[in-house]
Structure 1
Amino acid sequence: MAKRRKVGNPMALGVLSVLAFRQMHPYEIASALKGWGKDRDLQIKWGSLYTVVGNLAKNDLITEVESVREGRRPERTVYRITDTGRAELLDWTRELLSTAEPETPRFRSGLSVMSVLSPDEVVTLLQQRLDAVGQAIAATLVEYDVPRLFLLEVEYDRAMLTAEAAWMRSLIAELESGTLPGIDDWRQFHETGTAPEDILRLAEESIKNP
């Protein structure tokens, strides 16, 4: 089970990760997160940056070093990570890498109720998704001028997308060939509006024995 964090916003993890390299002011933090692609990986919402930085400081995870002014620009506060913050960063990272948590992607939810659509429409929709996944895979093949160590999450994305694409191709093939178990009953349901008796029986038994 995931631990409760003093500052649990994903952006907090990103801020701590960049300050682990050197002290920065918030504008530099944002630039580093964007430059390293962490805004994509951590689903960062930029409007909360200063709030997150303030909360990290309030909880002694980062601390102010100095305030600097460059030319006519507004004064900027420089922060560094504290020992407490570094310990939190390490513990949080270890948890994320080692703990398997149940996740429910939107695609999985759609698969669970796809029988409400006809097999032919499902094939069309899966083909659309397969095309989109193919484009996403192509996007992961773009070369970045950074060490591989900082791109392992992109490799993970590619592996997951490639596996999903292979699985969808297999499912589409079963649907098109009519070899998916139960597809005849599924088609009959959409042609007649009558659900198979075994499916209805299962639902009724579940209601009687919750």
Structure 2
Amino acid sequence: MAIKRKVNNLLALAVLSVIVERPMHRYEIASKLKERGKDRDMDIKWGSLYTVVQNMAKAGFLEEVGSEREGARPERVIYRITDVGRAEMREWTTELIADPELEATRFTAGLSILGVLPPELVIELLARRIATLEQTIGEIERELAALAGALPRLFTVETEYSLAMLNAEVAWARSFRAELVDGDFPDLEFWRRMHAENIDPADVFAIVERGEKPE
């Protein structure tokens, strides 16, 4: 069973993952997170870092151990991870690895209302997406190749996973686009007619709800 947390934000987990090394202030935490690309692995909203760190201290995951000041800059509070924070990091990571969770994406949202666009435009948009994905895949492959032997694989497995997911997405997008280009996609002609004749979406939904086959 998932633990009900006072702080349930992946930014909090990212903070724990770097502050476990040594006590840090918020600016150093942010610097470490950016340096290690955690903003690519997790949905990090930098503007909420201050609040998240405060909430983690209230929850007992972090504790203040001092402060420092540089020149005229505001005083910076230094935090360290607590035993409770260490246990939380382990338990939370265990949950993330063991328990699959269906995560909605922007692409899924777009696909769910794909019919609002004509199929010819979708073919063009998919080509653009595939090209962008291929470029991203190439960049990640070069990054992994550069790190091979220089960094233990333990610290790159999340990048390997991201690469595998991107390859799966581009393979699906190519296959789907090919169906549209070749005319093999079911109900393609009705989809075209929806836009050619400007059929009201309400009428389309009525047809589907009645269980009728679009013609």
- TM-score when normalising by structure 1: 0.84
SS in structure 1 of the partner of residue 6 of structure 2: coil
State the distance in 2 between where 1:85 and 1:198 align. 53
**Which residue is 1:204 aligned to?**
210
**Which residue is 2:11 aligned to?**
11
**Which residue is 2:108 aligned to?**
108
**Which residue is 1:47 aligned to?**
47
Asked if 1:147 corresponds to 2:152, the answer is yes
State the distance in 2 between where 1:90 and 1:65 align. 23
SS in structure 2 of the partner of residue 21 of structure 1: coil
How far is 1:124 from its partner? 0.6
* Aligned alpha-carbon RMSD (Å): 2.7
For residues 119 and 66 of structure 1, do their structure 2 counterparts lie closer, same or farther at Cα, with a shift above 3 Å needed? same
**Which residue is 1:127 aligned to?**
127
State the distance in 2 between where 1:7 and 1:199 align. 41
State the distance in 2 between where 1:205 and 1:177 align. 26
State the distance in 1 between where 2:168 and 2:134 align. 11
Task: Give unpaired runs (5+ residues) of structure 1.
Answer: none
Task: Give unpaired runs (5+ residues) of structure 2.
Answer: none
Equivalent position to 2:176, from 157, 171, 175 = 171
Deviates more, 1:25-34 or 1:155-164: 25-34
How far is 1:13 from its partner? 0.9
For residues 36 and 205 of structure 1, do their structure 2 counterparts lie closer, same or farther at Cα, with a shift above 3 Å needed? same
Corresponding residue pairs, total: 205
How far is 1:16 from its partner? 1.0
